[in-house]
Amino acid sequence: MDQETEEEIKRLNRVVEAFATEMKARLREQAIRGCRGWDDPASYQRITETMMKHAAVSPGQEVDAANLAMILWYLRMQEKVG
């Protein structure tokens, strides 16, 4: 792999790590507020609908949209395993 590609990957990894830190902080806030049931397969449709509302992401809501996408991804992976 050439140096330019390695540097690009390093920059991408730094951004992903910073974004994941923000995602975790927002999920923590939601848990403290009492939000539960994210990992319940029965919540899939409700979360999908919420995700669609966030599809046109407003400034400052990128982390919320990413968290919803992560939850939907998790639920689909659980379905494949289960």
- Rounded CA-CA distance 58/81 in Å is 34
pLDDT surpasses 70 at 15: yes
What number of other Cβ atoms are within 10 A of residue 68's Cβ? 21
- At 54, the amino acid letter reads H
This prediction's pTM: 0.84
pLDDT surpasses 90 at 79: no
Interval 33-66: pLDDT, tens: 999 999 999 999 999 998 888 777 678 888 998 9
pLDDT surpasses 70 at 9: yes
- Per-residue pLDDT, 82: 67
- Per-residue pLDDT, 30: 95
In contact, 21 and 63? CB cutoff 8 Å: no
Which tokens sit at 43?
Answer: 């919540």
Q: List the one residue out of 74, 63, 80 whose CA is nearest residue 40.
A: 74
Question: Roughly what angle, to the nearest 10 degrees, separates helices 44-53 and 62-81?
Answer: 150
